[in-house]
Amino acid sequence: MSAVSSSLPVFPWDRLDPYKAQAQAHPDGIVDLSIGTPVDPVPEVIRRALIAAADSPGYPTVWGTAALRDALTGWVERRLGARGVAHENVLPVLGSKELVAWLPTQLGLGAGDRVAYPRLAYPTYEVGARLAGTEPVPYDVETFAADPGSAGLDGVKLLWLNSPSNPTGAVLPKDALTRIVAWARERGVLVFSDECYLELGWEAEPVSVLHPDVSGGTYEGIVAVHSLSKRSNLAGYRAAFLAGDAAVLGELLRVRKHGGMMTPAPVQAATVAALGDDAHVREQRGRYAARRAALRAALEAHGFRIDHSEASLYLWSTRDEPCWDTVAHLAELGILVAPGDFYGPTGDRHVRVALTATDERIESAVKRLG
């Protein structure tokens, strides 16, 4: 085993296999609410764009076409409220997970450097820090948001934010983001803000780190990460992008050119179509809103408490018991969910319940919970 692979945490999803088998044995089949993978169709406007660009025999560029960069800058200004976004302020990437996993390495971080990320979080932040040989530093989000100087993060080189959060659905308010950005700039800490669920606010309106009220109108030291996987059902396309500090993105562009990290030309064309059409986003939000309302009511009637969950595609749910007991209980009903400790030890009394199942499967889960 290599030194790198031995430093990585155990891949957790294999531990769910026995519970998945139990859920699959239910007479009405499994309702898989464990992984947030889209199940609804790719919108027609996006598929048409992909097909129209299918005859693309040449190599694409890492930076993407001018049309793609226009689409990215236009969306960032229109949707995030950013101002003065130039082509140098955007960069397409091959899905956001690839970026999270390899960012510290591509930034040239290594032994002796520290990478900070939320204590309860998507595990790839830690994986990326370990792949680069840096020190992973988890922090408590609520403590840090209230008073960044009290979180013990002095000396970190890279700070990950995640709002709306995966797995909790918690949203960092604008004043907290403003404090964090000011704190980071004073110390020369690079901030990467994972905002992949920003389009899915329910009980709060998520704000981007690029919003002028947060950034002060400059993108120095801050980069936002966005994905089309959830908003446009494009997880299979691996379409994502960065927006922010031109110097940082320029360096990443140089590194990624050498690595041949090119978004396929048909996917670039599909991204342009996706970012230019808001109707399909509203339609998909409506689907998720209905599923969320039905599942939340059924879980609460079944004895669950829903914490946070004001945004994103998940209900952060608890019965105030060890999370694996809850996983086992729901598996008996044919429902598979993700145990909270997949996202850190402090999640050990919660489960993450995804909204990404068909209407028919959500209806079946609601009946079983009732």
For residue range 30-61, list pLDDT tens digits in order.
999 999 999 999 999 999 999 999 999 999 99
Q: 130: domain CATH number?
A: 3.40.640.10
The last residue of one of the domains, among 244, 275, 306, is 275
Q: Same domain for 105 and 203?
A: yes
pLDDT for the residue numbered 151: 86
**For residue 220, which amino acid is it?**
E
Q: Same domain for 100 and 171?
A: yes
User: For the stretch 100-117, what's the b/e string if a residue is b when 16 or more beta carbons lie within 10 angstroms of its beta carbon?
Assistant: bbbbbbbbebeeebbbbb
The yes-or-no verdict on residue 321 having pLDDT over 90 is yes
Q: Same domain for 117 and 137?
A: yes
Q: What is the mean pLDDT of the chain?
A: 96
The yes-or-no verdict on residue 1 having pLDDT over 60 is no
**363 lies in which domain range?**
11-42+280-369
pLDDT for the residue numbered 14: 81
User: For the stretch 266-275, what's the b/e string if a residue is b when 16 or more beta carbons lie within 10 angstroms of its beta carbon?
Assistant: bbbbbbbbbb
List pLDDT tens digits, range 237-283: 999 999 999 999 999 999 999 999 999 999 999 999 999 999 999 99
The yes-or-no verdict on residue 11 having pLDDT over 90 is no
Residue 311 lies in a domain: yes
Neighbours of 342 (CB within 10 A): 20
Q: 331: domain CATH number?
A: 3.90.1150.10
Number of domains in the chain: 2
The yes-or-no verdict on residue 16 having pLDDT over 70 is yes
Q: Same domain for 315 and 244?
A: no
Q: Same domain for 263 and 315?
A: no
Residue 5 lies in a domain: no
Name the pTM for this structure.
0.95
The yes-or-no verdict on residue 4 having pLDDT over 80 is no
Q: Same domain for 84 and 139?
A: yes
Residue 1 lies in a domain: no
Q: How far apart are CA 47 and CA 95, in angstroms?
A: 18
Residue 84 lies in a domain: yes
294 — pLDDT class (breaks 50, 70, 90):
very high
Q: What is the CA radius of gyration of the chain?
A: 20
Residue 2 lies in a domain: no
pLDDT for the residue numbered 13: 76
Q: Same domain for 327 and 268?
A: no
pLDDT for the residue numbered 43: 98
- Select from 49, 79, 366, 83 the least CA-distant residue to 239: 49
Q: Same domain for 365 and 299?
A: yes
Residue 6 lies in a domain: no
Q: Same domain for 172 and 191?
A: yes
Q: Same domain for 69 and 156?
A: yes
Q: Same domain for 179 and 285?
A: no
Cis amide bond preceding 339, omega within 30: no
Q: Same domain for 152 and 185?
A: yes
Residue of higher predicted confidence among 167 and 5: 167
The last residue of one of the domains, among 275, 291, 320, is 275
pLDDT for the residue numbered 8: 66
